[in-house]
């Protein structure tokens, strides 16, 4: 991390208009360029696994913590300081843009997002308006603070994908089987398409705010989309996800796409417009590369549960991941899903250092 610049340029930006992070291992890997070492970051690296996070969040509800720029900045920086990861991920929640446009929802501890009035009919569409930068001033402010602090360390912007947002809105909360969501998707395809299209606009606007403020990559999380078969994804989800990716193209900001349990969808998720496809631990990276095809980098994919098995096992499984990644055009090391809350943070720090050592060129 570097100090704020004193040149009058936007913080984190170089003379040539490129961000200070442009030549980082992470962004180089996203662009499939040679890297000094395989870059590493972890989904949910900022969060419950860190005692300093739990302390900072004490008594502060989740949604409120996403709306306080100094808090967001500190939470986002904590894992960068502690683990020496190659990228920061903007601390936010999937439902933040929905809250910002006035949807009545809350994040209940131990449950997740709960929407007061679930979406089920065409009339509900009127509750979705596009997001304006002025709806999320705290995002712009936090990212300004962050890029100044981060210097050459890239900041990854963050948003939930239309399908996952729709699932929360339609179910009214987290759901194991997504019955209501699929009932709408299969039963009223036109309303479904309109709903996803509006969510695509909101998501794109939310990511554009983050890019304008200085995020140097974005990750679109489709947490629940692994519940769909490929034909349904292509027909009912891909147009909306593609709209988001299209809207944020042309900024020189790599676009990452991830969902857990999406082995069957990897090719389509790349096709939707991702530059980097995230892979969960169920699919070896070499097989993922076959499914995704050329011209994309891959991100992943150590099983987060491996971190409970002791150092030797972690190193062995890490070598397996690196070995499967050997032929890739670009590889960003990550877990195959988010850091589990009870993970020992020291195991994560050691893992970053181990990947760096093993891949130093």
Residues that bind a second copy (CB under 8 A): 177-187, 226-231, 261, 263-264, 281-284, 287, 303-306, 308-310, 313, 316-317, 320, 340, 342
Structure tokens at 303: 């099983």
Please say which residue, 187 or 250, places its beta carbon nearer to a second copy: 187
The answer to whether 48 is a known catalytic residue is: yes
* Closer by beta carbon to a second copy, 68 or else 317: 317
Length of the chain: 361
Looking at 23, 31, 68, 93, which residue is catalytic? 93
In Å, what is the CA distance from 77 to each residue of 7, 53, 86, 256, 295? 24, 10, 12, 20, 31
| Closer residue to a second copy (CB): 226 or 252 | 226
Q: How far is the CB of 320 from a second copy (least distance, A)?
A: 7
Q: Are 218 and 156 in contact (CB under 8 A)?
A: yes
Bond from prior residue into 14 cis (ω within 30 degrees of 0): no
CB of 356 to a second copy, least distance (A): 22
Sign of the Cα torsion 223, 224, 230, 232 reads negative
290 counts as catalytic? no
CB of 353 to a second copy, least distance (A): 20
Contact 161, 137 (CB under 8 A): no
Active site residue 222: no
Sign, CA torsion 182/336/292/160: positive
> How many angstroms from the chain centroid is the CA of residue 247?
17
275 catalytic per annotation: no
**Residue 93 bears catalytic tag:** yes
Q: How far is the CB of 161 from a second copy (least distance, A)?
A: 17
Query: How far, in Å, CA of 28 to CA of 270, rounded?
Result: 18
Nearer to a second copy, 10 or 263 (CB): 263
Tell me which of 57, 68, 127, 291 is the catalytic residue: 57
- Token duo for residue 233: 């994804």
Looking at 44, 82, 198, 255, which residue is catalytic?
44
State the pairing for strand pair 105-108/255-258.
unpaired
Look-up of token digits 């069957």: 264
Choosing from 22, 53, 138, 168, the catalytic residue is 168
Beta 297-302 vs 276-278: how paired, if at all? parallel
Which of 151/304 has CB closer to a second copy?
A: 304
Query: Residue 28 or residue 182: which is nearer to a second copy going by CB?
Result: 182
Q: Smallest distance from the beta carbon of 204 to a second copy, in angstroms?
A: 27
In angstroms, give the least distance from the CB of 304 to a second copy.
7
Which residues are part of the catalytic machinery?
A: 44, 48, 57, 93, 168
């Amino acid at each position: 991390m570097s100090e704020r610049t004193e040149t009058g340029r936007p913080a984190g930006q170089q003379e040539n208009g490129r961000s200070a992070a442009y030549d980082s291992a992470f962004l180089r890997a996203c662009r499939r360029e040679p890297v000094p070492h395989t870059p590493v970051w972890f989904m949910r690296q900022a969060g419950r696994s860190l005692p300093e996070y739990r302390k900072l969040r004490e008594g502060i509800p989740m949604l409120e913590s996403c709306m306080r720029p100094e808090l967001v900045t500190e939470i986002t920086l904590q894992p960068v300081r502690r683990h020496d990861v190659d990228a920061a991920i903007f601390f936010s929640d999937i439902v933040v843009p929905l809250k910002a446009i006035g949807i009545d929802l809350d994040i209940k501890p131990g449950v997740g997002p709960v929407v007061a009035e679930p979406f089920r009919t065409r009339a509900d569409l009127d509750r979705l308006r596009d997001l304006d930068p002025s709806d999320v001033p705290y995002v712009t402010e936090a990212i300004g603070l962050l890029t100044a602090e981060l210097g050459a360390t890239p900041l990854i912007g963050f948003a939930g994908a239309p399908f996952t947002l729709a699932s929360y809105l339609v179910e009214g909360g987290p759901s194991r089987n997504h019955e209501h969501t699929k009932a709408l998707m299969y039963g009223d395809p036109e309303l479904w398409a309109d709903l996803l299209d509006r969510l695509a606009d909101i998501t794109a606007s939310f990511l554009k705010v983050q890019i304008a403020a200085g995020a140097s990559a974005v990750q679109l999380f489709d947490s629940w989309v692994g519940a769909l078969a490929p034909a349904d994804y292509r027909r009912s989800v891909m147009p909306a996800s593609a709209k988001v990716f299209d809207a944020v193209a042309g900024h020189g900001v790599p676009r990452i796409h991830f969902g857990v349990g999406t082995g069957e969808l990897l090719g389509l998720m790349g096709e939707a417009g991702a530059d980097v496809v995230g892979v969960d631990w169920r699919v070896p990276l070499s097989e993922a590369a076959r499914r995704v095809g050329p011209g994309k980098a891959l991100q992943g994919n150590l099983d987060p549960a491996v971190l409970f098995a002791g150092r030797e096992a972690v190193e062995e499984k890490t070598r397996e991941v690196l070995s499967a990644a050997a032929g890739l055009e670009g590889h960003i090391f990550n877990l195959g899903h988010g850091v589990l809350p009870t993970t020992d943070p020291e195991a994560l720090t050691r893992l970053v250092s181990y990947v760096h050592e093993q891949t130093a060129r």
